[in-house]
Structure 1
Amino acid sequence: MSSSMTAYDALASVPGWDAASTQIDELEGGLTNRTYHVRLDEKECVLRIDADHTSTVLADRSCELEVLKKAGEAGVAPRVVYSDIDRGVLLTEFLPEPVWQEADLENPDYIEALADVLRRVHALPLCGLQVDLKLSARRYEEGLQERHGLHDFATRCVDIISSIPGRDTFVCCHNDVVAGNIIGLAPARMIDWEYAGDNDPLFDLASVVGYHNFSKQRAQHLLSAYAGGTDSALEEYLAEQLRLYDAIQWLWLAARHLVSPSHNQAVRLEELQQRIR
């Protein structure tokens, strides 16, 4: 979706919504979209518009809307108010509770709440679209072919992802579990479902462990709280999913860095590269 579409343009297409009378405030933090807090009389919503480079790091949104609607009904996500996938527009209810911060994940109560919301997410019906990380990895690698400094390590990441065997254990997953995508505590709910799809449940745990550099003790706490106990086999499988997550995160970030470079991304790419080696 072109950046030429304004928030007013997007709202003008929503039936019954008076775009001209809407208070619009841009929200920070989105990596692949433009997001806004929009208010009209007593209505408060979040408007998301695809950015120019969204298609570079996100193949499609075919599963997101279906999962998001079911997640909203189940109380683990905001409810959908309006959507137009072709134009890259999504309008959802605004959740007034605070967004989690990385420091919150040091609190055992938040780890327990995270385990609870993940169990509820994984209890949602399958969406029918299995996440194929091998395919995604190859797609990212192809986009990096002209950048030798990135492509060499991209090949390494693809090899790692291809070498990890899958289990025949698929549930509905969020696939982007980070503090900034969680809101509230009692109950916790999740936002930004654009990578949702059927996947191994431990990949969701691995994503938050890997993204936030959990200590071994904190990772074990999350795993035990989620599974109702743990053992060496489960811990080994989480470690394997963590390696998978690190590799796909590096590829995703490298693809984004290619079209929208930043110092923070470069630092994170180097951190991941050192950990993956």
Structure 2
Amino acid sequence: MWVSPYMGTGNGLGNGKCSMNHTHIINELKPVLSLSDNACLTELQSGEVNRVYKLKDGETRFAVKSLARDEFSGINRFHQFLLQEQLAHREIAPAPVWLNKAQDLWVESWLEKRLEQEIADSDKPGILAGVLAQIHKQPITVRPLDLPKRLFHYVEKAFLEEDDPLVKQTQQVIRQYALDYVPAEHLVLCHNDLSWGHIQSLDPVMIVDWEYAAMGNRFFDLASCASINRFNEQDTERLIARYARQADIAQSTVEHYYYEQKEVVDTTEALWTAALNASCQACV
């Protein structure tokens, strides 16, 4: 069946006119996309950092992301734009269309979410494992994620002192798991934010929201997927078992590195949340 990838929040108007708080976005996009006066934005369910819109102008559709609230992530949107161009060429991601100079307004082709049938929650870990394995096999080489640098970037943005327990935990994790080095057999293209909601289609596989993607540790990506989707122990076992088969890696090896990287993911998410909270407080 075909469904919208997000549910509307009611901020878009059905009469072809735009609400006033969307006017500045429309005005910026008009000359770039040759929009008519009837172009309208509908705000969709968004994340904690970005606002996502569906842009409609006659029969033309775009997905628009307002990134103005992201003052802490450290993401280089230009590099992500170039990466997504490669992914779109591989037909695994929507084609990016435009990024403004301030890197706070992103436009890409619109995708409807397409699922052939309702999928049981118990089947989702296995499907996500297969999708991750397919992402990890993509013949795309981009800049590797410097995870220690990213972690200390979050420390700085969260205004954490050196004696803060989370900072000490970060230093310990970096030392214990040698995060400045990824073995060649573990280094692959990673999504690093793969929730079930980011899968738009399974046949063919089509994924959205690649903003945290980079070359990185496949097992960090696996542990991140389990955390983002809030998998319980049984779900995690399914994820690991299916990924081991799909990636042709011994299950015991996947289990070992998964639980090693889980601690890294937990620390990363704690720092990300601290940086987000500090950013939100600064805007109040």
Same fold (TM over 0.5): yes
The count of residues paired between Structure 1 and Structure 2 equals 252
Q: Using the TM superposition, give the Cα deviation of residue 105 of structure 1 relative to its aligned residue in structure 2, in angstroms.
A: 7.4
Map 1:57-96; keep pairs closer than 5 Å. 57-96=73-112
Deviates more, 1:208-217 or 1:170-179: 208-217
- Unpaired stretches in structure 2, ≥5 consecutive residues: 1-20
CA distance in 2, matches of 1:201, 1:133: 13
Give the match for residue 175 of structure 1: 192
Give the match for residue 10 of structure 2: none
- In 2, are the aligned partners of 1:176 and 1:195 still within 8 Å (CA)? yes
Give the match for residue 275 of structure 1: none
1:242 correspondence with 2:262: yes
1:11 correspondence with 2:29: yes
Deviates more, 1:192-201 or 1:173-182: 173-182
Q: 1:63 to 1:4 in 2, by over 3 A?
A: same
1:56 to 72, 75, 82: 72
Give the match for residue 114 of structure 1: 128
- In 1, are the aligned partners of 2:67 and 2:105 still within 8 Å (CA)? yes
Q: 1:223 to 1:146 in 2, by over 3 A?
A: closer
Code of the aligned partner of 2:121: E
Q: 1:163 to 1:73 in 2, by over 3 A?
A: same
- In 1, are the aligned partners of 2:162 and 2:168 still within 8 Å (CA)? no
Q: Secondary structure at the match of 1:6?
A: helix
- In 2, are the aligned partners of 1:63 and 1:196 still within 8 Å (CA)? no
CA distance in 2, matches of 1:138, 1:87: 22
- Unpaired stretches in structure 1, ≥5 consecutive residues: 262-277
Q: 1:61 to 1:81 in 2, by over 3 A?
A: closer
CA distance in 2, matches of 1:5, 1:160: 46
Give the match for residue 128 of structure 1: 142
Deviates more, 1:4-13 or 1:220-229: 4-13
- In 2, are the aligned partners of 1:46 and 1:94 still within 8 Å (CA)? yes
Q: Using the TM superposition, give the Cα deviation of residue 198 of structure 1 relative to its aligned residue in structure 2, in angstroms.
A: 0.4
Give the match for residue 251 of structure 1: 271
Give the match for residue 267 of structure 1: none
Q: Using the TM superposition, give the Cα deviation of residue 49 of structure 1 relative to its aligned residue in structure 2, in angstroms.
A: 2.1
Q: 1:259 to 1:148 in 2, by over 3 A?
A: farther
- In 1, are the aligned partners of 2:74 and 2:153 still within 8 Å (CA)? no
Coordinate RMSD, CA, aligned: 2.8
